[in-house]
Chains A and B, each alone.
Chain A
């Protein structure tokens, strides 16, 4: 038997509130949840068969649902799915060893929500639009070469150069979108992370950590952005527990 850790939370003096909340939630395999505390922080865990934890849909959804329900009432750091430890004593030791770092991280995410913003595009249409707007003639060959001198190798370079220029145009465009989003986010004093050109159609995958009070303001900001980029599709999700903002390596 092992112990699976769901999250570490800032419980302060609300131990009773936490225990009553945990009484209403079941863990993976319908197990009881319990808290192991140390001063201001607590770890939410449940017993688990050591070899019984598979990363299937049902278990991962259950894990996320436990974290989500606790997140509604406490500031927390979600643990990576599958964090199993041998005994309660080891959980206590882990808490003691990392107490300061955990506490600092918890204060950083307290009263904050994580939001996700994905920007999708019709890649073909966007490329056509960018080519049209570009001052550079992308379709032109590298150098004007007399027809007699053209060869299959030269045509190949021309084709590759067109692809290269188009990629540069796309990247410049995405940078411009990021810069616009950053301008909006700067109003909310947020922490942001961006990934560009994740797939051909997902030009941007952004996550940010923002004060809880700014939830409706961020929806308005995304609506504004959508108005400025009608050919793109902005999707805002959240609020999420700070899955992408836990910056701690447990010792």
Chain B
């Protein structure tokens, strides 16, 4: 971006460049499926979808906890389930050598999936 396109900025150009870098460096978020990496590419896709569903379930669960709709026993069981799900997810990520940043898909103009 040329400097004369910046009409208003109270921060430094270095900070701006760093932030823009974060917004545009989405190499990890692109799904690169080739004949050589079909296994890991597929694992990345499947785990991304599983992670999305896990986060949605967690969000919904927290809404219910926050709304006071659950008993002590239910909260206890929910905590155990969510914790085990998160641990299992960590195991799978490690197994397929994936990081949190990998578990996202860039949807082009729509932005990132998560």
Contact = CB atoms under 8 A, between A and B. Distances in A.
B83 A143 contact: no
Nearest to B19: A120
Contacts of A165: 66
Interface in A137-184: 142-143, 145, 149, 151-157, 160-161, 164-165
Interface string B1-31: 1000111111100011001001100000000
B8 A240 contact: no
Contacts of B7: 115, 215, 218-219, 222, 236-238
Interface residues of B, number: 30
B75 A233 contact: no
B11 to A, nearest CB: 5
Interface stretch (B34-42, B44-52, B57-65, B90-98): B57-65
Contacts of B65: 142, 157, 161
B23 A236 contact: no
Contacts, number: 89
B82 A234 contact: no
Interface residues of A, number: 37
A223 interface: yes
Contacts of A153: 76-80, 83
A199 interface: yes
A15 interface: no
Interface of A: 115, 118, 120, 142-143, 145, 149, 151-157, 160-161, 164-165, 195, 198-199, 201-202, 205, 215, 218-219, 222-223, 226, 233-238, 240
